[in-house]
Amino acid sequence: MSQFDEPIGIAKGVMFDLDGTLILSDRKLGGYTVLPGAVETLTALKDRGIPYLALTNGSAYPAYQQAPRLRAIGLPIPDENLFTPNSVAAGVFRDRGVERVLVLGTEGVAEALRGDGLVTVMPDAEGAAKADAVYVAWHPECSMEHIHAACEAVLGGAAFFTASDVPFFATKGGRSFGYSCAISGAIARVTGSEPEVTGKPSLHAMQFVAHRLGLDAGEVAVIGDDPRVETEMARLGGAIGIGVTTGTTTREGWAASQPEHRPHRVIDRIDAILDMGLLG
């Protein structure tokens, strides 16, 4: 389509979204399906020595628990190539001198942060409000007591972060809604403080991706299914944005997206990136 033919550079590395791009997850069944061409794409990148990683906004589990599940359904992704907003958050916390983090998330979220050397405190613990930072992530068991503790901490001066403020994401059964967005929205409304986002489309996430790939952002192809997530991040960070039609967004949807969300190219199968002159 003519609106997706602007000049682009050569990508020396690739960031993939997970849900809607490489796989579709089915939350009700707790399972995943690999999308057509995904296996061939990861295999070809490995063979060609092109660095890649997958960054999901799904924060429920540490990467070392998620990656084996993906390999079990046939997606050949090593643990060290899979990242979540928790990985990004840990780096931001280290840079800011944050030591003690109040976690509104599953045990998996806290485990991921502890794995990166942080001290985590859960919202029902004694003295929970005395934290350096509040981090909201996947938290289906969130209670009013948890929101209360987080509000007290933020009002007491704790920095405020969320894994994601994306309201919806694609699943096999249609759209599912983002708990981090709902919970951090509640805390923001009460405290008057807006959270910093660590997941996509934040610049924190873009910088993390480029750094991990050992590239400048302009050398990275950022591939995803959501104009408000991956391609917004690509535009914001100066990367090459590629939109897929296998998740939340149709070709017509991409065509109608705002300039700040618009991809440089749109593809209907993920393996199209292998022979479109994108990769160097």
Binding site for Mg ion (CB under 5 A): 17, 19-20, 225, 247
Nearer to Mg ion, 212 or 228 (CB): 228
Nearer to Mg ion, 20 or 227 (CB): 20
Nearer to Mg ion, 17 or 152 (CB): 17
Supply the minimum distance, in Å, between the C-beta of residue 244 and Mg ion.
9
Nearer to Mg ion, 229 or 278 (CB): 229
Whole-number Cα distances in Å, 108 to 114, 115, 211, 237: 10, 10, 24, 29
Residues 111, 114: Cα–Cα separation, whole Å: 5
Size (the chain), residues: 280
Residues 236, 79: Cα–Cα separation, whole Å: 28
Q: Tokens representing 252?
A: 């017509």
Nearest to 65 by CA among 138, 152, 171, 122: 138
Do residues 267 and 8 make contact, with C-beta atoms less than 8 angstroms apart?
A: no
**Angle made by CA atoms 45, 72, 77, in degrees to the nearest 5:** 25
Nearer to Mg ion, 190 or 272 (CB): 272
Nearer to Mg ion, 19 or 196 (CB): 19
Q: Tokens representing 12?
A: 């020396």
Nearest to 52 by CA among 5, 88, 17: 17
Supply the minimum distance, in Å, between the C-beta of residue 249 and Mg ion.
9
Q: Tokens representing 208?
A: 């993390």
Supply the minimum distance, in Å, between the C-beta of residue 195 and Mg ion.
20
Supply the minimum distance, in Å, between the C-beta of residue 150 and Mg ion.
26
Nearer to Mg ion, 193 or 245 (CB): 245
Supply the minimum distance, in Å, between the C-beta of residue 45 and Mg ion.
19
Residue nearest to Mg ion (CB): 20
Supply the minimum distance, in Å, between the C-beta of residue 41 and Mg ion.
16
Supply the minimum distance, in Å, between the C-beta of residue 35 and Mg ion.
11
Residues 202, 35: Cα–Cα separation, whole Å: 26
Q: Which helix (H) or strand (E) holds 202?
A: none
Q: Which residues are bridge partners to 121 per DSSP?
A: 102
